[in-house]
Amino acid sequence: MNHVSREAILGLARNFMECRILLSGAELNLFTILTPTPLSAREVADRIGAKSRALTILLDALAALGFLVRRRETYQCTRSVSSFLSADGQDSVLPVILHMAHLWSRWSRLTSVVQGSRVPEKEPVSSQDVDALGAFIGAMDVIAGDLARRVVAAVHPDASRALLDVGGASGTYTLAFLRAVPEMKATLFDKPEVIEIARQRLGKEGILDRVTLIPGDFFQDELPHGHDLAFVSAIIHQNSPEQNLDLFINVFRSLRPGGRIVIRDHVMEPDRTRPREGAIFAVNMLLSTSGGNTYIFDEINAGLTQAGFVNIRLLQRGEHMDGLVEGFKPSLADKK
């Protein structure tokens, strides 16, 4: 058993304070407001309708944490921080931080959910503001860019010509696959409001002539057929085992004989404590879904086998939701 010191325990217990200061700064848009020119607490308070005393205390705390610089009575966001936390920053992750702020209240219910006095609450995507959804997906794309290239390389898609990107969001992985295999064409399947984000993103990349965009819900609609590679990325953790089986059967029907499914997600070790990020993410699914979880390979294997896939194997272990599992739809020769 790993030794955990008293200081480490107390430090972890206090971490929520610094986290909450950052989240409130993001929710109040302070990093955008204080990027161009230094302002006093009173000037910022007038802009956002805040109480001057309370805002001053928050601004001082943000300065103490290194997010702002205080000079006399004014505050300004540092150049390095503004690039990440300003809405206009070149590498802005502000939408992701705002998403974490949204999760704050949900995670505060953890004890009650475990005790059974509360049920997980999940807002449907269609209820979210489209602009906010687009910003969030865009920020996630920035983060996922390098990961997508590494994942696609590990998949070895060179022989594939028809990709189905299931729940493909704005097309980060579709784009990575098409760049890796110039002869490939792709179908991106996602909900209607997400498809429009993908249309704009992939249009700017100049590859819409190689992509078919199809709106739908894979739990209610048949996936388009005729593909030799189906990529199911960061989806199975949202589902119960029964929902995943339905999804795998739908994917199975969409593939040509001999076609391949590749699943990207946390793939847990049998003791479910590793990878660490996966164990923590399972708690997020407990709070966000009715039956979601992170799964071990044997559970994924069982679902794929029941759906009809063969030659199932773990392609890659991963610490950051980059575990990969593949399986094949039997070829016509296999059926003889």
From the list 236, 229, 216, 220, the residue with the least C-alpha distance to 302 is 236
Looking at residues 159-173, what average pLDDT do you find?
96
pLDDT digits (tens, 9 = 90+) for 55-74: 999 999 999 999 999 999 99
Mean pLDDT score of the chain: 93
- Residue found under tokens 């996936």: 223
The secondary structure of 56-86, three-state, reads HHHHHHHHHCCCEEEECCEEEECHHHHHHHC
Question: Do 94 and 222 share a domain, yes or no?
Answer: no
Q: Domain ends where: 115, 141, 170? A: 115
Q: Which residue has the higher pLDDT, 91 or 61?
A: 61
84: pLDDT strictly greater than 70: yes
- Residue found under tokens 């030659």: 311
323: pLDDT strictly greater than 70: yes
From the list 75, 191, 202, the residue with the least C-alpha distance to 127 is 191
Q: Enumerate the β-bridge partners of residue 71.
A: 74
Q: Which residue has the higher pLDDT, 78 or 230?
A: 230
pLDDT (0 to 100) of residue 130:
63
CA distance 276 to 282: 10
- Residue found under tokens 């269609």: 126
117 CB-contact burial (10 Å; exposed 0-12 / middle 13-18 / buried 19+): exposed
Q: Domain ends where: 115, 149, 183? A: 115
Q: What is the CATH number of the domain that holds 88?
A: 1.10.10.10
Is there a domain that residue 120 lies in? no
Question: Do 294 and 193 share a domain, yes or no?
Answer: yes
The encoded tokens of residue 330 equal 């039997």
Q: How confident is the model at residue 265 (pLDDT cuts 50, 70, 90)?
A: very high
Helix axes 192-205, 172-180, angle to 10 degrees: 40
pLDDT (0 to 100) of residue 124:
45
In the chain, what percentage of residues exceed pLDDT 90? 83
Is there a domain that residue 81 lies in? yes
pLDDT digits (tens, 9 = 90+) for 218-261: 999 999 999 999 999 999 999 999 999 999 999 999 999 999 99
Q: What is the CATH number of the domain that holds 243?
A: 3.40.50.150
Is there a domain that residue 122 lies in? no
Q: Which residue has the higher pLDDT, 94 or 30?
A: 30
Question: Do 90 and 15 share a domain, yes or no?
Answer: yes
Amino acid at 199: R
Question: Do 301 and 201 share a domain, yes or no?
Answer: yes
Question: Do 47 and 196 share a domain, yes or no?
Answer: no
DSSP state letters, 136-202 = HHHHHHHHHHHHHHHHHHHH--TT--EEEEET-TTSHHHHHHHHH-TT-EEEEEE-HHHHHHHHHHH
Asked whether 38 and 76 are in contact (CB, 8 A), the reply is yes
pLDDT digits (tens, 9 = 90+) for 119-163: 776 554 444 566 667 666 766 777 787 899 999 999 999 999 999
Is there a domain that residue 124 lies in? no
192: pLDDT strictly greater than 90: yes
Number of domains observed in the structure of the chain: 2
Question: Do 166 and 215 share a domain, yes or no?
Answer: yes
pLDDT (0 to 100) of residue 127:
42
**Which SS3 state, helix, strand or coil, does residue 41 take?**
helix
Asked whether 238 and 311 are in contact (CB, 8 A), the reply is no
Neighbours of 163 (CB within 10 A): 25
The encoded tokens of residue 73 equal 């009575």
CA distance 206 to 202: 6
pTM exceeds 0.85, yes or no: yes
pLDDT (0 to 100) of residue 129:
61
Question: Do 64 and 144 share a domain, yes or no?
Answer: no
Is there a domain that residue 123 lies in? no
- Residue found under tokens 């499914």: 261
**β pairing state of 323-328 and 310-316:** antiparallel
Strands in the chain per DSSP E: 39-40, 68-71, 74-77, 162-166, 185-190, 211-215, 227-233, 255-265, 267-268, 295-296, 310-316, 323-328
Question: Do 104 and 147 share a domain, yes or no?
Answer: no
Domain range for 267 is 133-335
